[in-house]
Chain A
Amino acid sequence: MALSDDEIKHVAKLARLAVSDAEVPDYVGKLSRIIDLVQQLDAVDTSGVTPMAHPLEMAQRLRADDVTEENCRDAYQASAPDVVDGLYRVPRVIE
């Protein structure tokens, strides 16, 4: 199945991935081949099959709601691109 240029641009927008016009044909070609590969599953009869939620059928563990970690904000923010007064700074979101 061939994806369209518009589909590629739409998916790229959903993925927050800038895609230049020049890059679109390569995505169309390669993603279409990948979708062809995975569409083999369309032909499989899975009626009555429970979708796998965990490879070993284990349930999510719960823990007590206790504070176990100390505050490491400074250490974590040391690798951030732009920090001011302990806050992450990003470009303007709204006018």
Chain B
Amino acid sequence: MSIGTVASQAAALAAGNLSSRELTRAALDEIEARDGTLNAFINVCAESAMAAATAADELRAAGRAGPLTGIPIAHKDIFCTRGLATTCGSRMLADFVPPYDATVVSRLADAGVVCVGKTNMDEFAMGSSNETSYFGAVRNPWDPAKSPGGSSGGSAAAVAGGLVAAATGTDTGGSIRQPAALTGITGVKPTYGRVSRFGMIAFASSLDQAGVLTRTAEDAAMLLAVMAGFDPRDSTSADVPVADYPATLGDSLEGRRIGVPTEFFDDGLDDECATLVRAALAELEAAGALLREVSLPNLPLSVPTYYIVAPAEASSNLSRFDGVRFGHRAEAVTELNEMYSLTRQQGFGDEVKRRIMTGTYVLSAGYYDAYYLQAQKVRQLIADDFRKAFAEVDLIAGPTAPTAAFALGDKVDDPVQMYLNDIYTIGANLAGLPGASVPCGFTGGLPVGLQLVGPAFSESLVLNVAHQYQLATDWHERRPAGAD
């Protein structure tokens, strides 16, 4: 059975052509058959998924189904799921079973969505290739020798590989958009504070935002309609009304001003990717949009800014993993500080330790002003660039990543090369803006993404433009071998 899209599954359920049990069984069968290669899942919860599917079918029979009732999806393993192991891709939490659900999980469950399992990810979401996971690298469904990107690489591979129609993700520096681009699917990172961070294991709290990976913008709109909204349990949740995302997907692009930043087409961008992104921009122009060149002069500083702010916040957030209240604890220790430091040495992987060390260094006595404070000032300059641009245009568009998927193992020994992968995505995180990646072509048989970034709380517009692009093109309908 073809997994299809969230919209096609919802239509089949509503028409009575399929039950949630059949859809959920099909997803579990696909995972069983093909995840041995992809390694997209850390945990599969077949039993609870079938029980939730049965409950969804009963709700439908009682005439109480909503638009998402009975749709099987997967959650990135960064979202706490009550009674279901949540590892964050780390040895530190390999046996952690949360006592509560993340708000993202409970909101989707309340809407009748069925969770089939938890997807693989870079450890604590720190990585751009999914190779930092304690549970092994995820493989790209388009070429198993290639990375699916990261950190939401398991979610991306699960959707691109046709195991599920949708999966949740998180994006701190590009972790939804970059893997979406590298696997040829749609990924949406909402505005900072739009989706609750409650129960989402923290990496860098001023940047972290939850979102979705789907095959189409329409599917993303359907899921975000449920996920977005104020949550009193998240101290930075935005108390701003949620727009009706699906309602405006069909709006015309006539007269929409789309800004193309010169800084997105720098020397680091692969020539073929540049050509494909330019062609996608021409497609938007053909649909009625007006292209304008804009400049984000401080954008090239976004990688160094991010690699101060994010590790600094991570070093603070990850201090909670001390072997006392949850997670791994080192054995055969005689003294408290020894327990802390051995627990953390054993529980964290190399990249996480590097970020903790970097963050601790930039926050240490005598360095705070030179690093963290300066980075927060440059961050303001970057946000100002976006503000100025949005005075002239409605939306910004460009590439999502500098290249198509790279080979597994290619960049593991060079953290700085790995960090430069996020050069086009980090700006939106630093400025707190919503962004999306949609497939816009192929180079060497591998997908390439077009990135859209809008002003704060313009998710409706981002989704509308992405949907209109997908009406005019069929890149999002291409499937890797074995995926339907």
Q: Which residues of A contact B (CB under 8 A)?
A: 3, 7-8, 11-19, 27, 30-31, 33-35, 37-42, 44, 46, 49-56, 58, 60-61, 63, 72, 75-82, 88, 90-93
Contacts and interface: CB of A to CB of B under 8 A. Distances in A.
Contacts of B379: 51-52
Contact of B232 (A46, A55, A63, A76): A63
20 contacts: A15-B360, A27-B357, A30-B415, A33-B416, A35-B361, A38-B371, A41-B308, A41-B375, A44-B374, A52-B376, A52-B383, A56-B432, A56-B456, A58-B238, A75-B99, A80-B324, A80-B325, A91-B334, A91-B335, A93-B336
A48 to B, nearest CB: 9
Tell me the interface secondary structure of chain B in the complex: helix
Interface in B245-297: none
Contact of B192 (A27, A56, A76, A88): A56
B335 A92 contact: yes
B70 to A, nearest CB: 29
Contacts of B106: none
Given A56-B191, A75-B99, A91-B334, A17 B357 contact: yes
A11 B360 contact: yes
Contacts of B96: 79
A82 to B, nearest CB: 7
B56 to A, nearest CB: 27
Interface in B306-329: 307-308, 315, 319, 322-329
Contacts of A75: 99
B169 to A, nearest CB: 19
Contact of A42 (B206, B315, B370): B370
Tell me the interface secondary structure of chain A in the complex: loop
For the complex of A and B, list the 3 residue pairs with the smallest distance between their C-beta atoms, beginning with the closest.
A55-B432, A51-B376, A46-B377
B364 A14 contact: yes
Given A11-B357, A17-B345, A41-B308, A55 B192 contact: yes
B338 A91 contact: yes
Interface in B25-79: none
Nearest to A3: B361
Contacts of A34: 307, 354, 358, 415-416, 419
B450 to A, nearest CB: 24
Nearest to B362: A38
A46 to B, nearest CB: 4
Nearest to B369: A51
User: In this complex, which of A17, A55, A56, A88 has the most chain B Cβ atoms within 10 angstroms of its Cβ?
Assistant: A55
Nearest to A77: B325
Nearest to A89: B324
A35 B308 CA distance: 9
A49 B334 contact: no
Interface string B94-119: 00111100000000000000000000
A8 to B, nearest CB: 7
Interface of B: 96-99, 191-193, 206-207, 232, 235-236, 238-239, 298, 301, 303-305, 307-308, 315, 319, 322-329, 333-342, 344-345, 348, 353-354, 356-358, 360-362, 364, 370-371, 373-381, 383, 415-416, 419, 430-432, 456
B204 to A, nearest CB: 11
A12 B357 contact: yes
A81 B96 CA distance: 10
Given A44-B374, A54-B206, A78-B99, A92 B334 contact: yes
Given A11-B364, A46-B377, A90 B430 contact: no
Given A18-B345, A30-B415, A51-B373, 12 more contacts: A17-B348, A18-B341, A27-B354, A37-B304, A39-B304, A44-B377, A50-B380, A51-B380, A56-B238, A56-B456, A91-B334, A91-B335
Nearest to B457: A56
A60 B308 CA distance: 23
A87 to B, nearest CB: 11
A81 B375 CA distance: 38
Contacts of B301: 40-41, 44
A11 B361 CA distance: 6
Contacts of B308: 38, 41
Contacts of B373: 51
Contact of B329 (A19, A56, A81): A81
Given A17-B341, A19-B345, A46 B378 contact: yes
Contacts of A49: 377-378, 380-381
Given A34-B358, A37-B416, A80-B326, A52 B235 contact: no
Nearest to A46: B377
Contact of B381 (A19, A44, A63, A92): A44
Contacts of B378: 41, 44, 46, 49
B416 to A, nearest CB: 5
Given A37-B416, A51-B373, A31 B304 contact: no
A13 B339 CA distance: 13
A74 to B, nearest CB: 9
